[in-house]
Amino acid sequence: MPLGRRTTREWIRTSMRTPGILIFGMVLAPCGWILDLTATVAPNWRTLHNIPQRPENEIIQQGIFDICTTTDTSTSQTCQQEDPEYFQEEIIPVSQGLMVASLVVTLIGIAVAIPGVRCWKDRPNWTVAGLGGLLIFLSGVMTIIPISWYTHILTNVTTVTTGAEIRVGYCIVLGYIGGIFEVLGGFVMFIGICRCCGGKNRGEKPVEEVTNRNGRQNRPQSRTVDVPTLSRARSAASSVPYGRESLDDDVSFPRAKSPGAPSNNSFNGRPYDADL
């Protein structure tokens, strides 16, 4: 069908490779899930230092599921510490629910996106891949919400240990990084549902840029090079572009004489009487 009669713009893939936006999302999503899992189970959302009536090197690590005590000079921890005031704070059950839900939704999003990202097909299923990206994006948001809330009220969360110095734990940092990874990866995968940037986001190009009106692939036109020709007068007796007489006329210096034919005066036959 001619291009002018097409009601909708047609697109074609320029290669069999998986589009870059899908690779980007499928790499960031598992990385973010691992970081979020560490932030969920590790008891280090905040740490308490310089605790009154405690040894100076003792540290209390508080998470959303457990509380542990340790020292600066030892790597061993004593977990399952009791702190009813801490776990009764509103932020703790909310963080527990959102972090666990984020882990589950991320796994569902990756499982949904895998059938749509299959690289052995000519065209990925952009709807399925975009739906998986949307789930991954939502899981990242569910991670960032409790992390940001906990950071905002870090020093206001009550605990039985008062008067201690409160510091941010490494779980907050890991949670932020994991949530951002999932938000970016899910968003990039989701924008594949719609074509943008001239189809380059999908690794596609419009048909008119790849094929001509006859449906054949465009080929580069060959260049014609004009070679200058030299026309000289040729003599009738020779095929070379100059005559023998022109050589004699053009010479302005005396020419050496050519040696004559050698004479053979030797006689090898028998003499006759007439020769005597």
Residue at 107 is within a domain: yes
pLDDT in tens, 53-99: 888 888 989 999 989 988 887 778 888 888 888 888 999 999 999 99
Residue at 246 is within a domain: no
Q: Quote the pTM value.
A: 0.67
Residue at 253 is within a domain: no
Residue at 129 is within a domain: yes
Q: How far apart are CA 46 and CA 62, in angstroms?
A: 5
Residue at 228 is within a domain: no
CATH number at residue 143: 1.20.140.150
pLDDT in tens, 192-233: 777 655 555 566 666 555 554 445 555 555 666 666 666 655
Residue at 271 is within a domain: no
**In which domain, by residue range, is 201 found?**
9-210
Continuous H helices in the chain: 20-41, 84-87, 91-117, 126-152, 170-190, 207-210, 244-250
Residue at 248 is within a domain: no
Total domain count for the chain?
1
SS3 label, residue 98: helix
